[in-house]
Structure 1
Amino acid sequence: MYADTGSVPVPGEVSDGSYINYPRRRPGRPSWNSSGVPWHTLCYKDNCPRLQQVKAHWDPGNIFHHSLSIQPPV
Structure 2
Amino acid sequence: MVSGHLGTTRKDSLLAEIDVNSSGRPLLAVIEEVEGGAAYVVTKRDRPAAVLMPIQKVEDLMASTVAGGGR
**TM bucket by the smaller chain?**
0.3 to 0.5
Larger relative contact order (C-alpha < 8 A, sep ≥ 6)?
1
Q: Which TM-score applies when normalising by structure 2?
A: 0.32
Q: Which TM-score applies when normalising by structure 1?
A: 0.32
Query: Which is strand-richer, 1 or 2?
Result: 2
